[in-house]
């Protein structure tokens, strides 16, 4: 009997094992309270077998009964289900708790946000694409606390400047490091003094971006080293997903017009005033100025500036494919942006190709390859007060002269007054092209080897290569005496940067309470930039714009090669306790080729920690109280090397203008063989908190950084030094400020109506604490405005973003000194009370959805920034500005005479008053630039599921977006959001300088998105 019982037991056990070990196909649908979820990861626990849900939320996977399936999706709680049947439908619950949120940090490594001791803010693809911005940098506008972004205008391809927590460098680059999939890319901007230039980050297609994480300040980017003192923008691109294949198509049509034009007067015509001895004035009508006599009634007049602009049209098309299997995934995309600008003949065309392939070569070895090819073509126009600048040319045409009548019967350019020496802007647009062509490749190859479950090795090699050709032409027939036979200025640049990263990570659970993460790595960056500059005048054959069409004696060719190598080693130790208390220590040592050998090696560390108090002390409230509370703090130091070529003085081949040819010391800019690295020390403290079942989150940070022993380039020194400019160490910049982010889900997740509001607040103060020697200011001449009336400057004991301008001389009591002619004497002085950086910024974004309809908007509030209105200065000088209509009236300039008495000398508001005094006095054009702008309002509609199910597509969406529709400001100019010379001006830059550029645009977009 016992024997039969044993046999029966063995038989039952065998049948049970066979039953549970039989592999079955498990299917099901994954959804949340509002519908199906795409891309949910489905994994057999304890194995590498997995898949993802498709567009309908459906998954299929082979497994054995009794196995456990893990369902995970960002923003939702992970769910585990034991397999007991072949049909398993799963409902995931939302989890906005920051405990489980994962962000991309240094070198593309993912970390739990709760373990970070510093502020980091991440944006997903759909957040970036709201507002339909073509420049990647502009997609962050108003969406990240502590980040300020300023566009340089509405010209095709115009650059944008991004700064995180102010600026740390007096003369160097103040923009953050750009990282794509763990490797740095170039985001430089060419000089925009003459022609609007783009920043190189705009080459990327926003549609290819999966997410962006903004690491704020040196603490966040300590491992990246030299270039990360200003923070880092970590860009993660899209890739294929296992079990999901999709084709995505988007297309949009945009129409744009400039925000506005300045007010002008059309009461007085062409001419200049010639004062007569003994009083009175006569008029010379043979003049480009608008200081002539009053225009007779009935005379036809023109608003040249308003008539100059047209409607811009942009088409943006994008196609992508993504798919994946168990051992590989693929992503491919192609996009084209074609923008016809708001200025006739101007355009911006960008075509992008991207492919990413990830393959699992074995259970431990993974290969990743990516390539991104970009081609851009820009046709632009001259701007500002450059020779041939569009607006400058228009100011030379009085309102009684038709600027569009510029050709004679033979087709040659004609002037409207005797001795005209400038070109008509419409003639220039047709005959003097300004083009910029670029071919760029950004690629990487990476290997990832998992030695075991704890130790992982990865290596990635990246290349950023582009060939850029820029050409500026003045055609034959120019009225400019020095360029009447034609003129060409061009450069050809070959940029190559190679990056090698090796990283080893070790993660282990020391005990039930302690975990340890170790990281060690090496990076090598090698850059080589070769630029050929070519200029020439007098074309031999008209209409052939090529340097070979110019005689050799009229040519000038210069070749410049800049090379740099940086080698760094770095490490990180992260210790966690009960997933609630974290300590993080980093260290990095760099060797830079741009520093002297004795100073070439420099080390810098960081230390930080975070404590999730709600878990550590189990103080999480039940119901609608406190859901999550984390405290964090970090101290960090980061080093910075010198620009290329600052160590040695160089020789020139001409001793002086009259001397013979030979090699001699340049005598203009001297090198410094004793340079040392500069350092930025920073610390920050903050907290992250969630309330009301995680429907409300509030994060805040206070920070302070000090950048000292600055490397200052092109600093004016006393003539006794034997040079005009020098590079030296010295100076100190202090930044301190507050950042805050409030996010509110106004409706519960179970509601048909969803509404989320985000408030991003940032306030930063940048102060020049110290300058070397007797210097009281540092400015770059590239930021000089019209008439050289002002320039951006860093001023001692004032803001880095202050001004240097022409001001009236004052006595010791601060009273303006008036001369006998009734006018004060003007001299170059600094503004210690001016800050072109805002007191604070506040971005208010909203996203609403009801069933198939969605509505979102962004309100951008910028408060307390100063703008210098050099455009108004130019309008006054030419007699075009509306305020010059008061000509002939008298005024008394406030001040005191030489004897100390109150000034009572009246002066007439005539041409002399406006040209020699009013337009040159910088105080007249320093204005409050605060504004509130509705960045965008976007309405979208998704086709319902019942309709979609009858079509061979999985998603169809229509959208209508309005951009920059409303701006509230007291600024008297056209646009308070201005950066006259773009991102090409380092240091104090030209943010907040309005200098005859193209205003920003406003418009509408109509779009469609289709998914198969």
691: nearest Cα among 648, 744, 627: 627
Three-state SS for 559? strand
What value does the mean pLDDT take over residues 117-133? 89
Distance CA 172, CA 180 (A): 23
Distance CA 828, CA 806 (A): 4
Q: How far is residue 404 from each of residues 291, 304, 380, 804, 916, measured CA to CA in Å?
A: 21, 9, 19, 38, 30
Tell me which residue has tokens 């506008």.
Answer: 141
In sign, the C-alpha dihedral spanning 224, 227, 230, 231 is: negative
Whether pLDDT at 2 is above 50: no
Ramachandran area for residue 646 (φ above 0: left; ψ -120 to 50: alpha; else beta): alpha
DSSP character for 242? T
Three-state SS for 761? strand
Query: Looking at residue 963, what is its pLDDT?
Result: 95
> Token pair for residue 328?
């590989």
What value does the mean pLDDT take over residues 76-91? 85
Whether pLDDT at 11 is above 50: no
CB 992 within 8 A of CB 868: yes
Q: How does pLDDT run across 219-250, given as a tens digit for each residue?
A: 777 788 887 888 899 999 999 877 778 899 99
Whether pLDDT at 394 is above 80: yes
Whether pLDDT at 928 is above 80: yes
Distance CA 640, CA 678 (A): 5
286 — phi, psi (to 5°)? -85, 70
> Token pair for residue 182?
């763990």
168: nearest Cα among 727, 684, 679: 679
What value does the mean pLDDT take over residues 865-873? 97
193: nearest Cα among 999, 789, 989: 989
In sign, the C-alpha dihedral spanning 480, 881, 305, 275 is: negative
Residue 79's pLDDT band, with cuts at 50, 70 and 90, is confident
| Contacts by 989-992, CB closer than 8 A, 24 or more apart | 989/161, 989/167, 989/174, 989/783, 989/792, 989/801, 990/783, 990/792, 991/150, 991/161, 991/792, 991/801, 991/836, 991/837, 992/150, 992/792, 992/801, 992/836, 992/837, 992/865, 992/866, 992/867, 992/868, 992/929
CB 928 within 8 A of CB 836: no
In sign, the C-alpha dihedral spanning 206, 208, 211, 216 is: negative
CB 155 within 8 A of CB 383: yes
Query: What is the length of the chain?
Result: 1012
> Token pair for residue 325?
């299997």
Residue 719's pLDDT band, with cuts at 50, 70 and 90, is low
Torsion of Cα atoms, 987 then 993 then 997 then 1001, to 10°: 100
Q: How does pLDDT run across 481-522, given as a tens digit for each residue?
A: 889 999 999 999 999 999 999 999 999 999 989 999 999 999
Residue 946's pLDDT band, with cuts at 50, 70 and 90, is confident
CB 667 within 8 A of CB 722: yes
> Token pair for residue 574?
């992260």
Burial of 418 (0-12, 13-18, 19+ CB in 10 A): exposed
Neighbours of 661 (CB within 10 A): 9
Q: Which residues contact 799 (CB under 8 A, 6 or more apart)?
A: 765, 766, 767, 768, 834, 835, 836, 837
What value does the mean pLDDT take over residues 580-588? 94
Three-state SS for 785? coil
Distance CA 532, CA 555 (A): 13
Residue-by-residue DSSP string for 796-848? BTSBTTEEEEEEE-B-TTSPBBB-TTS-BPEEEEEETT--SS-SEEEEEEEEE
Query: Looking at residue 149, what is its pLDDT?
Result: 93
Query: Looking at residue 37, what is its pLDDT?
Result: 78
Average per-residue pLDDT for the chain: 89
What value does the mean pLDDT take over residues 803-828? 95
Regarding pTM above 0.85, the answer is yes
> Token pair for residue 549?
């069409």
Q: How does pLDDT run across 150-206, given as a tens digit for each residue?
A: 999 999 989 999 999 999 999 888 999 999 999 999 999 987 788 888 999 999 999
Residue 633's pLDDT band, with cuts at 50, 70 and 90, is very high
């Amino acid at each position: 009997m016992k024997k039969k019982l044993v046999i029966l037991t063995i038989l039952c056990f065998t049948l049970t094992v066979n039953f549970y070990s039989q592999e079955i196909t498990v299917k099901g649908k994954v959804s949340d309270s509002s519908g199906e979820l795409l891309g949910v990861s489905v994994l057999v626990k304890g194995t590498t077998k997995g898949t993802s849900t498709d567009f309908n939320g459906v998954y299929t996977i082979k497994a054995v009964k009794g196995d456990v399936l893990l369902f995970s999706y960002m923003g939702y709680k992970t769910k585990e289900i034991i397999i007991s049947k072949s049909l398993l439908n799963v409902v995931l619950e939302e989890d906005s708790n920051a405990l489980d949120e994962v962000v991309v940090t240094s070198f593309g490594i993912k970390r739990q946000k709760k373990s970070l001791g510093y502020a980091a803010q991440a944006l997903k693809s759909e957040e970036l694409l709201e507002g339909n911005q073509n420049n990647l940098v502009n997609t962050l506008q108003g969406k990240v606390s502590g980040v300020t972004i300023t566009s340089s205008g509405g010209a095709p391809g115009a650059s944008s400047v991004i700064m995180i927590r102010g600026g740390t460098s007096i003369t160097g680059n103040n923009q953050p490091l750009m990282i794509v999939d763990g490797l740095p890319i170039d985001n430089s901007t060419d000089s925009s003094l003459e022609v609007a230039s783009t920043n190189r980050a705009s080459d990327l297609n926003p549609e290819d971006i999966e997410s962006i994480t903004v690491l704020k300040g040196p603490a966040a980017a300590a491992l990246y080293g030299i270039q990360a003192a200003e923070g880092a923008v970590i860009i993660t691109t899209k890739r294929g997903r296992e079990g999901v294949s999709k084709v995505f198509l988007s297309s949009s049509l945009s129409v744009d017009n400039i925000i506005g034009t300045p007010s002008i007067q059309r009461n007085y015509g062409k001419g200049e005033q010639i004062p007569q001895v003994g009083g009175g004035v006569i008029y010379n009508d043979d003049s480009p100025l608008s200081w002539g006599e009053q225009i007779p009634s009935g005379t036809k007049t023109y608003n040249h500036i308003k008539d100059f602009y047209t409607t811009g049209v942009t088409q943006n098309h994008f196609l992508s494919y993504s798919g994946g299997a168990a051992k590989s995934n693929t992503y491919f995309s192609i996009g084209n942006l074609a923008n016809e600008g708001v200025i006739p003949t101007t355009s911006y065309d960008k075509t992008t190709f991207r492919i990413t392939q990830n393959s699992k070569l074995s259970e431990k070895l993974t290969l990743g390859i990516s390539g991104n090819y970009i081609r851009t073509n820009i046709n632009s126009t001259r701007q500002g007060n450059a020779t041939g600048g569009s607006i400058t040319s228009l100011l030379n045409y009085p309102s009684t002269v038709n600027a569009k009548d510029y050709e004679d019967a033979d087709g040659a350019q004609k002037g409207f007054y005797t001795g005209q020496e400038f070109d008509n802007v419409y003639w220039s647009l047709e005959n003097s092209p300004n083009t910029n062509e670029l071919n760029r490749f950004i690629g990487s190859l990476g290997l990832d080897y998992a030695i075991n479950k704890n130790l992982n090795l990865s290596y990635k090699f990246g290349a950023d290569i582009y060939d850029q050709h820029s050409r500026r032409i003045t055609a034959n027939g120019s009225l400019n005496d020095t360029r009447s036979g034609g003129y060409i200025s061009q450069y050809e640049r070959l940029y190559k940067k190679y990056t090698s990263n090796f990283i080893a990570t070790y993660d282990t659970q020391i005990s039930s309470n302690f975990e340890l993460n170790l990281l060690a790595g090496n990076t090598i960056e090698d850059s080589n930039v070769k630029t050929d500059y070519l200029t020439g005048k007098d074309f031999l054959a008209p209409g052939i714009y090529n340097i070979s069409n110019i005689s050799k004696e009229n040519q000038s060719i210069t070749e410049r090669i800049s090379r740099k190598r940086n080698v760094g080693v770095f490490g990180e130790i992260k210790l966690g306790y009960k997933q609630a208390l974290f300590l993080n220590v980093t260290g990095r040592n760099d060797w830079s080729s741009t520093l002297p050998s004795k100073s070439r090696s420099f080390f810098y560390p960081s230390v930080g920690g975070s404590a999730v108090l709600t878990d550590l002390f189990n103080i999480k409230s039940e119901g609608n109280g406190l859901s999550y509370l984390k405290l964090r703090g970090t101290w960090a130091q980061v080093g910075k090397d010198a620009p290329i070529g600052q160590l040695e003085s160089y020789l020139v081949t001409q001793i002086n203008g009259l001397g013979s040819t030979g090699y001699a010391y340049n005598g203009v800019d001297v090198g410094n063989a004793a340079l040392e690295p500069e350092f930025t020390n920073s610390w920050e403290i903050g907290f992250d908190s969630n309330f009301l079942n995680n429907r409300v989150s509030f994060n805040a940070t206070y920070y302070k950084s000090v950048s000292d022993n600055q490397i200052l380039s092109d600093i004016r020194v006393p003539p006794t030094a034997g040079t005009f400019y020098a590079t030296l160490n010295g100076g100190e910049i202090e930044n301190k400020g507050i950042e805050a982010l409030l996010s509110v889900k106004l409706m519960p997740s179970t509601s048909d109506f969803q509404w989320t509001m985000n408030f991003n607040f940032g306030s930063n103060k940048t102060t020049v604490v110290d300058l070397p020697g007797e210097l009281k200011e540092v400015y770059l001449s590239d930021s000089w405005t019209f008439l050289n009336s002002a320039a951006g400057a860093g001023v001692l004991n004032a803001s880095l973003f202050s001004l240097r301008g022409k001001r009236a001389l004052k006595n010791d009591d601060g009273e303006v000194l008036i001369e006998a002619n009734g006018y004060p004497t003007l001299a170059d002085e600094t503004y210690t009370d001016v800050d072109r950086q805002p007191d604070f910024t506040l971005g208010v974004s909203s996203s609403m959805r009801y069933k198939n309809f969605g509505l979102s908007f962004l309100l951008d509030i910028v408060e307390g920034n100063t703008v210098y209105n050099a455009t108004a200065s130019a309008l006054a000088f030419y007699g075009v500005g509306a305020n010059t209509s008061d000509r002939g009236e008298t005024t008394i300039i406030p001040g005191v005479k030489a004897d100390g008495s109150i000034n009572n000398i009246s002066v007439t508001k005539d041409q002399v008053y406006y040209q020699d005094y009013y337009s040159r006095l910088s105080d007249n054009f320093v204005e409050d630039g605060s504004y509130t702008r509705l960045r965008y309002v976007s309405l979208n509609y998704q086709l319902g599921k019942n309709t979609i199910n009858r079509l061979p597509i999985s998603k169809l969406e229509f959208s209508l977006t309005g951009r920059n529709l409303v701006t509230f400001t007291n600024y008297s100019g056209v646009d308070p959001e201005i950066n006259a010379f773009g991102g090409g001006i380092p240091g104090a830059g030209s943010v907040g300088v309005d200098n005859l550029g193209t205003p920003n645009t406003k418009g509408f977009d109509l779009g469609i998105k289709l998914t198969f």
